[in-house]
Amino acid sequence: MTIVPGGSFDKISPTALLTAYARQFAGIPYTREIAELTDAIATVNQFTEGKLNSLVIGLAAIVEGRYKAIEYVRSQFHATQILELASGLLPRGMILSQQPEITFIESDLLAMIHQKQQLAQQLIGDRPNLHFLDIDATTTLNSSRLSAYFHVDQPVTVLCEGLMMYLTFAEKRQVFANMREILQTFGGVWITPDLTTKVGADQMGRNSAAFEPVNQKISSLTGRLVAENEFADLDQARQFVREQGFQLDEFSMLEVLDQLESLSTLKIERDIAKVMLSTIPIFVMSLE
């Protein structure tokens, strides 16, 4: 059965199909099935205008590295309560909910989270520890919604992969305010690679011919000017985090370079992947 994305999706939701297509080359469970069931290639063709190979090669290493680096960092906190913002078509909830001790909440905009729930039903059936909530992270979030699933006396790990770069700085501040409330209620950490910078984007563009054209196409289709929503550099990103009341640790995505299966599958040069991964740290934020 093919699931066609609904027209009511927020304009940035189709970018989940773009990354879902690239993620299938990473050897991550369920990613090939997700790409097929959502007909991701149809949306990818809108972005590439005949440059599919360049797009996949340019995007696959980053998408795989981002996912596996988050998993590397997450595993160090031994969290049993996990909230994923803008979970889109990520397979993480389906994978981690195989562990009965983990309670996992996937969240996204209403239409997307309904599609994700349908996908999960097709691929894994019902799991009592995997939950789906419609949450717009850019509006005020009442953490009591999570208390129906999470224990207040146990820390929560919040994950966010591929959202913040689309948000204005005002929207970013609202997401930080929401995360502050969640961590004040439960304790824990927020893990994300999403504090992207203009310096990093410049490095990406020098190593992937498809990077800039695809970014321009994303901005055109979503109405989101990605370049205007980036931090100038990592120092500005760090300062922004501190101003929101968080302390910050950083992990390098290069920790997972040797785990990337897409390098051999798509014949991506290791040195190019190394440069690209070095531009995006994984940020781990907690309350001061």
Under the banding of pLDDT at 50, 70 and 90, the label for residue 201 is confident
Is 1 inside any structural domain? no
Q: Are 219 and 177 in contact (CB under 8 A)?
A: no
Q: How far is 237 from 121, CA to CA, in rounded Å?
A: 38
Q: What is the pLDDT of residue 217?
A: 64
The pTM of the full predicted model, rounded to 2 decimals, is 0.91
Residues 170-178 have a mean pLDDT of 95
Is 81 inside any structural domain? yes
The partner residues of 188 in beta bridges, in order of sequence, read 156
The range of the structural domain enclosing residue 277 comes to 15-287
Q: What is the pLDDT of residue 43?
A: 79
Which SS3 state, helix, strand or coil, does residue 187 take? coil
Q: How far is 256 from 96, CA to CA, in rounded Å?
A: 19
DSSP 178-219: HHHHHHHHH-EEEEES---BHHHHHHHHHH-TTHHHHHHHHH
Is 119 inside any structural domain? yes
Q: What is the pLDDT of residue 136?
A: 92
Q: How far is 286 from 241, CA to CA, in rounded Å?
A: 10
Residues 198-223 have a mean pLDDT of 70
| Total of domains in the chain | 1
Token couple for 213: 């054209």
Q: Is the pLDDT of residue 32 over 50?
A: yes
Is 194 inside any structural domain? yes
Q: Is the pLDDT of residue 4 over 90?
A: no
Is 3 inside any structural domain? no
Share of the chain above pLDDT 70, in %: 85
Is 283 inside any structural domain? yes
Identity of the residue numbered 183: L
Q: How far is 26 from 172, CA to CA, in rounded Å?
A: 29
Residues 130-148 have a mean pLDDT of 91
Is 6 inside any structural domain? no
Q: How far is 150 from 182, CA to CA, in rounded Å?
A: 11
CATH of the domain at 219: 3.40.50.150
Q: Are 184 and 287 in contact (CB under 8 A)?
A: yes
Q: Is the pLDDT of residue 93 over 90?
A: yes
Length of the chain: 288
* Element (DSSP H or E) covering residue 89: none
Under the banding of pLDDT at 50, 70 and 90, the label for residue 58 is confident
Mean pLDDT, the chain, as a whole number? 88
Q: What is the pLDDT of residue 57?
A: 75
Q: Of 28-32, 124-128, 130-134, 218-222, which gets the smallest average pLDDT?
A: 218-222
DSSP 27-81: T-TTHHHHHHHTTHHHHHHHHHTT-HHHHHHHHHHHHHHHHHHHHHHHHTTT-SE
Is 52 inside any structural domain? yes
Q: What are phi and psi of 46, to 5 degrees?
A: -70, -30
Q: Is the pLDDT of residue 9 over 60?
A: no
CA angle 154, 155, 157 (to 5 degrees): 140
Instruction: Give helix 211-222 / helix 198-207 axis angle, nearest 10°.
Output: 130
Q: What is the pLDDT of residue 97?
A: 98
Q: Of 97-106, 160-169, 213-222, which gets the smallest average pLDDT?
A: 213-222
